[in-house]
């Protein structure tokens, strides 16, 4: 017997009472200087929300039926209260929270604390290159010496492993641009086999923020993007 979907949907009530997904930007401060950064992050803004204000917004989103919350923008882990905020978000049953981070500030002690208080959070680390040289292409606008590149890469890999070792959920995000798209498969292999990531998300570069300053190099033609899949 065939069912008609209209049997299940009341015409008087909307299907959703709120957006399913919300991106929540909590700081504009960032410790990296990414070539492609759509948010043009760098400095903290003077009027960023306090912990209590942020929790209030999360409570509001929760009560209104948002089910998917992503914390990103600058570098969220530059906020000293982030663990506390994540713990609060994790206590709101029914909201699936992801924090997107550059993976440079998650010291092993922070991860230890997160592993007892934030077990439901998805930790998504941005890794746009499979080697120190390739990662630096997007992650630093200025050319840097090899030691600095190696140090940054090692830090990110160490943070990603710390998340997996602690039994937390690791995801990896890769921005595919004209400068690094060929490296997606290598990052995928590293993420799944070495870092034990539960997901790999590829995002096609979009022109905004600092990314608008280097369009010729960064834009990824649709044909190439399509082929990547
Ligand atoms: C703006 S960052 C903020 C969080 C954190 N600082 C990080 O680097 O992951 C969030 C994600 O957006 C991606 N992103 C930044 N600029 C982008 C752009 N122009 N197009 C597509 N994705 C971009 C980053 O690579 C990162 O995965």
Intra-chain end-to-end CA distance of the chain, in Å: 37
Residue extents of the structural domains in the chain: 17-38+48-228
Nearest alpha carbon to residue 175 among 204, 136, 153, 199: 204
pLDDT digits (tens, 9 = 90+) for 42-68: 999 999 999 999 999 999 999 999 999
Per-residue pLDDT for 96 more than 80? yes
36 CB near ligand 1 (under 6 Å) = yes
Q: Atom 2 of ligand 1 has which residue's CA nearest to it?
A: 73
The protein residue with its alpha carbon nearest to ligand 1, atom 25, reads 175
From CA 129, how far away is CA 156, in angstroms rounded? Answer: 11
- Residue range 70-89: average pLDDT? 96
> By alpha-carbon position, which residue is closest to atom 20 of ligand 1?
205
Supply the pLDDT for residue 195. 98
pLDDT of residue 38 exceeding 70 = yes
Q: Whose CA is nearest to atom 19 of ligand 1?
A: 38
Across the beta sheet with 199-204, the strand order is 21-25, 68-72, 96-101, 122-126, 169-176, 199-204
pLDDT above 80: residue 26: yes
Maximum separation of any 2 CA atoms in the chain, in Å: 67
Cα 218 to averaged position of ligand 1 atoms, centre (Å):
13
Q: Please say if the pLDDT value at position 79 is more than 70.
A: yes
13 or 212, which is more confident? 212
Return the pLDDT at 2. 60
Q: In sequence order, what are the beta bridge partners of 173?
A: 126, 201
* Residues 182-209 pLDDT 10s: 999 999 999 999 999 999 999 999 999 9
Check if 187 has its Cβ closer than 6 Å to any atom of ligand 1. Answer: no
Query: Does the beta carbon of 33 lie inside 6 Å of ligand 1?
Result: no
**H or E element in which residue 132 lies:** helix 132-139
Does the beta carbon of 124 lie inside 6 Å of ligand 1? no
Fold type of domain 17-38+48-228:
TIM Barrel (3.20.20)
């Amino acid at each position: 017997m065939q069912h008609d979907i209209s049997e299940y949907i009341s015409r008087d009530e909307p299907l959703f009472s709120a957006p399913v997904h919300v991106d929540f930007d909590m700081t504009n401060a960032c410790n990296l200087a990414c070539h492609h950064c759509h948010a043009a992050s760098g400095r903290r803004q003077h009027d960023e929300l306090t912990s209590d204000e942020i929790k209030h917004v999360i409570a509001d989103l929760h009560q209104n039926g948002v089910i998917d919350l992503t914390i990103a923008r600058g570098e969220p882990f530059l906020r000293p209260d982030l663990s506390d905020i994540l713990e609060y978000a994790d206590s709101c049953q029914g909201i699936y929270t992801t924090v997107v981070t550059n993976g440079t500030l998650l010291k092993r002690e922070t991860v230890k604390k997160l592993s007892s208080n934030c077990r439901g959070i998805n930790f998504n680390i941005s890794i746009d290159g499979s080697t120190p040289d390739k990662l630096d292409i997007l992650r630093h606008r200025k050319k840097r010496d090899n030691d600095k590149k190696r140090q940054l890469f090692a830090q990110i890999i160490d943070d990603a492993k710390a998340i997996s070792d602690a039994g937390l959920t690791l995801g990896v995000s890769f921005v595919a641009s004209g400068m690094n798209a060929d490296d997606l498969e290598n990052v995928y292999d590293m993420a799944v086999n070495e870092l034990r990531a539960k997901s790999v998300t590829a995002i096609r570069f979009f022109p905004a923020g600092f990314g608008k300053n280097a369009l010729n190099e960064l834009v990824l033609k649709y044909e190439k993007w399509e082929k990547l899949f």
